[in-house]
Structure 1
Amino acid sequence: MAGPYTGFGGGPGASVADRVAAWLVTALVSTKFSLLFSFLFGYSFVLQERSAERAGAAFAPRHLRRVIALLGIGLAHAVLLYPGDILTLYAALALVLYGLRGLSPRAALRLAAGLVLGLAAVLLAYGVLTVAYTAPLTPQAYAPYVADTVDAYRGGAGSVPAEHVRELPSAFGTALLYAPGKLAAFLAGLAAARVGLVERRGRDRAWLWRVVVRGLPVGLAGGVVSACCCAGRPLDSRWFPVGEAVAVLTGPALAASYACGLLLVLDAVRPAAARVLAAAGRMALTHYLSQSLVLAFVFTGYGLGLYDRLGTAVVLLGCVLLYVAQLAAVARLMARTRYGPAELLLRAVTRGTATRGRPEPVSGSSRPSDGVRRVP
């Protein structure tokens, strides 16, 4: 949302700090946390299925209403705030997941592995051909192609949604390309929920440590290779698909290490910190949409129009400060209500009834399951 030079690690005038920031984000962050959210989406699918069963309600109509709500929110988000929206893809894949819900945990994991390997193979093949038969593209050479985009985002409020609509075909095409990876994470979450992984292992420190110790080296090594290919240094832009292939293969290891490491940290800190993060998890959709709203105000003609005017390091610092502010806000909000506004809307549509926003205390002893149960 901040500029058009993601694949180069910064624009023509990027500083060393900007390039280092872009490299670190690619190595340590990009794709890893989206995998976690996708995993939790698949996990919550099973929990919602069980919730409908306990309530004596048919799951299929509930799920369809949820999909329609996600699609509507996602389309509005894509047109008004950010064309790279993920909710529309989640809505489409949620229908696929419903069709695959009868798979055994082992079959779901096998299909997930096949999807990951297939996507990585496609990206790697494309990357090898790109390296072999194309010339590198520099930020300076790329600038004329994005000049209209820069002007549109810096223009008036009316030019922003028009630019978003123009970018939607490309954004949807990219989403379709990476859909197998998201579906694989959905299936992994589905399998984990079927066997009660979080409930059985969420407080097993020895098991959590094993995941961290085994997954972290693989994930970090893959992150380094991916950053070398995707962040513009030391390899040029032709290597981007190769780096993406490596990220697809090794990203799950780093994502799992992050998740297990976070559970270990939460088990060691005061319950108040766990309550804040649990509350943030219950408002994940509101967080996602509000981040887009703030960033759209900062970078587009809706507000400050700083698109392509701030370096990666400054943008990264701003994102960290924004998340800290969101945590502070959610801590205050959750004292008054159980769910955020976006979650209330989604639950109301899903259940076909209004949902009251009563506050609900989050105990430290129940945080692993709470963190999953309330993913929107």
Structure 2
Amino acid sequence: MAQSSIERQSSLDALRGFALLGILVVNIIAFATPYYGTGVPDPMAQSRVSHAVMAGIALLFEWKFYLLFSFLFGYSFTLQMQSAERDGKAFVPRMLRRLIGLWVLGLLHGVLLFHGDILTTYAVMGAVLLTLRSRAEKALAKLAVGLIVGTATVWAIIGILSVLDVDAARDSKALAQITSALTAFRSTPSGVIAQHVEELKGVWVVTALMQAPTALAMFLMGCIAGRRGLFSASSPTAGTSKLYKQCLIAGACVGLPAAVAYAYGTTRLAGTPWDLLGLSLSLLTAPLLTAAYIGGMQMLFRSRWGQWWLGVLAPAGRMALSNYLMQSLVCSVIFLAYGFRMMGRVSPLDTLLIAFAIFAVQTVISRWWLGRFAYGPVEWLLRAVTH
């Protein structure tokens, strides 16, 4: 493999590793506290430091990193399709088997470890992407923009309707659900599974109205980027550097102010209809901040310290599926009845530090594993099913 091709692959893997860190930072909060996303004040997050940590997570992480992961899924989809064409192999049957395997893994993940699973969503939306693979770039771009705008509009309408219809008993109902969930997650392994199944009943609705359409939108944008060889070695270095800088500046200038508004809404106005309006704004602009992250990280990878960052992040990204599931397993042991039952007992700052510690260990393990094996353990399993 040519050196430029190796560097290109490393930058893609490093972006996946970066996305994994962001996903962990968001997901671990849901493991640490049943109050997350309910709008009810969390007793463990009442200090100024806790408020600052939660605001920072909302500002920089929420609704950005799963979009980055989705973009990279779409990009890789195109690379796999091009590879199959070059090798003269049938792409659709192989990809369908891969998506079915991903869906089964996601279902097990959602029931056993984490009800916020994204793998089932990726599997279903991946099947939709499969039907759109031959569409023109312009059509894909229009559909992607339409999905983003449409999703944001739906949540803006929900927010407006919430302003007109305030449920005075909402907090008491939510608190009862939180108490029940906390008891279940701390009880027994079977209690954890039962609670996950209960949580999944509500998650499907949010997934259909929020995660699925936005993930598909980023799949489509990733496909376009893959067709154009955004990270390809054949692209002129000066041109791509300029593009990355433009993504960083433009994305940050538009996406960051909107993220500030969202962070303020979700921390200071949590549980109010204005929280949903802030969410709508974030859904509309988060792809721009994601683009800024892509541009910024690609510029970092080309900097003086680029090789060091590639060496740290790329191995974790190469076995992203294994690491994603391992994150949930470790968090389940720490916070749920599978292990130490720390849910509701850890502050946001300590939770964030745990997330960074988990990821740091994963970077070391990933480097060690890939020094001995070609694929991560779950990647190997999925590859066996696919091929």
For 1:205, which of 238, 241, 244 is the aligned residue? 241
**C-alpha separation between the residues in 2 aligned to 1:191 and 1:235?**
36
**C-alpha separation between the residues in 2 aligned to 1:193 and 1:137?**
49
Displacement after TM superposition at 1:276 (Å):
2.8
Equivalent residue number for residue 327 of structure 1: 363
**C-alpha separation between the residues in 2 aligned to 1:161 and 1:41?**
29
Within the alignment, does 1:243 sit opposite 2:273 as a pair? Answer: no
- Mapping of residues 167-246 of structure 1, within 5 Å: 167-178=199-210, 179-199=212-232, 200=235, 204-231=240-267, 233-234=268-269, 236-246=271-281
Within the alignment, does 1:48 sit opposite 2:83 as a pair? Answer: no
- Mapping of residues 1-376 of structure 1, within 5 Å: 1-7=31-37, 8=39, 11-14=42-45, 15-135=47-167, 142-178=174-210, 179-199=212-232, 200=235, 204-231=240-267, 233-234=268-269, 236-268=271-303, 269-351=305-387
**C-alpha separation between the residues in 2 aligned to 1:57 and 1:214?**
40
Relative CO higher for 1 or 2, CA cutoff 8 Å, sep ≥ 6? 2
Relative distance call for 1:257 and 1:51 in structure 2 (3 A) is same
1:150–1:307 Cα contact (<8 Å) kept: yes
Displacement after TM superposition at 1:283 (Å):
0.9
Residues 77-115 of structure 1, C-alpha deviations (whole Å, 9 max, x = no match): 011100111000111011100111111111101110011
1:157–1:302 Cα contact (<8 Å) kept: yes
Displacement after TM superposition at 1:141 (Å):
6.8
Q: Structure 1 length normalisation: TM-score?
A: 0.89
1:138–1:237 Cα contact (<8 Å) kept: no
SS in 1 for 2:338: coil
Q: Where do 5+ consecutive residues of structure 2 fail to align? A: 1-30
Relative distance call for 1:139 and 1:252 in structure 2 (3 A) is same
Relative distance call for 1:168 and 1:159 in structure 2 (3 A) is same
Displacement after TM superposition at 1:139 (Å):
6.6
Displacement after TM superposition at 1:158 (Å):
1.7
**C-alpha separation between the residues in 2 aligned to 1:54 and 1:10?**
55
**C-alpha separation between the residues in 2 aligned to 1:92 and 1:220?**
30
**C-alpha separation between the residues in 2 aligned to 1:316 and 1:166?**
27
**C-alpha separation between the residues in 1 aligned to 2:204 and 2:111?**
12
Relative distance call for 1:308 and 1:196 in structure 2 (3 A) is same
Relative distance call for 1:12 and 1:138 in structure 2 (3 A) is farther
Equivalent residue number for residue 370 of structure 1: none
Q: Where do 5+ consecutive residues of structure 1 fail to align? A: 352-376
Which amino acid counterpart does residue 240 of structure 1 have in structure 2? D
**C-alpha separation between the residues in 2 aligned to 1:265 and 1:9?**
39
Relative distance call for 1:134 and 1:281 in structure 2 (3 A) is same
**C-alpha separation between the residues in 1 aligned to 2:168 and 2:59?**
21
Q: Structure 2 length normalisation: TM-score?
A: 0.86
1:279–1:331 Cα contact (<8 Å) kept: yes
Which amino acid counterpart does residue 30 of structure 1 have in structure 2? E
Relative distance call for 1:12 and 1:237 in structure 2 (3 A) is farther
1:74–1:88 Cα contact (<8 Å) kept: yes
Displacement after TM superposition at 1:131 (Å):
2.2
2:141–2:220 Cα contact (<8 Å) kept: yes
2:44–2:348 Cα contact (<8 Å) kept: no
**C-alpha separation between the residues in 2 aligned to 1:283 and 1:235?**
36
**C-alpha separation between the residues in 1 aligned to 2:60 and 2:332?**
24
Residues 233-292 of structure 1, C-alpha deviations (whole Å, 9 max, x = no match): 156533222121111111011111111101111111152431332221111111100000
RMSD: 1.8
1:11–1:139 Cα contact (<8 Å) kept: no
Which amino acid counterpart does residue 57 of structure 1 have in structure 2? K
Task: Give the stretch that moved more between structures: 158-167 or 234-243.
Answer: 234-243
Relative distance call for 1:159 and 1:313 in structure 2 (3 A) is same
2:44–2:345 Cα contact (<8 Å) kept: no
Relative distance call for 1:260 and 1:218 in structure 2 (3 A) is same
1:124–1:242 Cα contact (<8 Å) kept: yes
Which amino acid counterpart does residue 192 of structure 1 have in structure 2? A
Equivalent residue number for residue 23 of structure 2: none
Displacement after TM superposition at 1:161 (Å):
0.8
Pairs aligned (count): 350
**C-alpha separation between the residues in 2 aligned to 1:326 and 1:53?**
34
1:136–1:238 Cα contact (<8 Å) kept: no
Equivalent residue number for residue 373 of structure 1: none
